[in-house]
């Protein structure tokens, strides 16, 4: 499917940061939550993080320690997925994918226990303190945690650029549906562009 890609609002500046969502072993090869495309988009994510590692923020999804620790419907969720609670996960599963680990530091790592990275003040505080007004967003999954990150950034008034070849999902159908949604319903607030176009425009 073709989208109206492009940076409609011109170049990216020193007030731009890269928000990379949940590119972790938890969603990598061999995990029960493996995202099949993750390895395919990983080189594009590495390029974005490597361009300005000091302006990159990695989020990590941290599951509940055990199902009974989770609130509300999350408890039922982790009763279904008890194998990915912290008590059951093998060591290292919450870490960033290995090619990304070398960027942190200077990149910042912010942990979250829900889909959205915005419910904890750490991300807002970090970006505000650095005068960031634009976010390039990459990561996993297009239709879950990336979606929550994108809409939260829109609500906060950031210029939002989704890197179309640096996000991934478990299904083509919902991945395509989200990119269509961004272009057709959020075109005033969300731009979609390839990693190459983003890097050419980021000074």
Residue with more model confidence, 180 or 4: 180
* Fold entry, domain 16-64+96-201: Rossmann fold (3.40.50)
How many angstroms separate the Cα of 21 from the Cα of each of 4, 67, 71, 117, 139? 23, 24, 23, 9, 4
Q: pLDDT at residue 103 above 80?
A: yes
Mean pLDDT of 117-128: 96
Residue-level pLDDT at 2: 45
Pairwise CA distance, residues 2 & 34, whole Å: 26
Residue-level pLDDT at 1: 44
Q: pLDDT at residue 66 above 80?
A: yes
Residue-level pLDDT at 90: 94
pTM of full prediction above 0.85: yes
Exposure string (b/e) for 69-102, b if CB count within 10 Å is 16 or more?
Answer: ebeeeeeeebeeeeebbeeebeeebeebbeebee
Q: pLDDT at residue 197 above 50?
A: yes
Residue with more model confidence, 188 or 160: 160
Q: pLDDT at residue 191 above 70?
A: yes
């Amino acid at each position: 499917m073709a989208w109206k890609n492009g940076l409609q609002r011109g170049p990216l500046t020193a007030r731009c940061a890269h928000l990379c969502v949940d590119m972790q072993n938890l969603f990598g090869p061999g995990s029960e939550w493996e995202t099949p495309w993750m390895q395919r988009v990983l080189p594009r994510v590495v390029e974005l993080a490597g361009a300005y590692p000091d302006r990159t923020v990695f989020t990590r999804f941290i599951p509940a320690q055990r199902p009974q620790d989770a609130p509300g419907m999350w408890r039922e969720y982790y009763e279904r997925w008890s194998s990915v609670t912290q008590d059951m996960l093998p060591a290292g599963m919450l870490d960033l994918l290995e090619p990304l680990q070398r960027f942190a530091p200077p990149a910042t790592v912010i942990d979250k226990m829900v889909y959205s990275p915005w419910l904890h003040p750490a991300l807002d505080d970090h970006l505000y303190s650095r005068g960031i007004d634009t976010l390039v967003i990459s990561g996993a999954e297009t239709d879950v945690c990336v979606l929550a990150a994108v809409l939260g950034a829109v609500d906060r008034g950031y210029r939002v650029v989704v890197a179309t070849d640096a996000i991934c999902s478990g299904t083509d159908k919902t991945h395509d549906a989200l990119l269509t949604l961004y272009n057709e319903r959020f075109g005033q607030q969300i731009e979609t562009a390839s990693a190459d176009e983003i890097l050419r425009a980021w000074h």
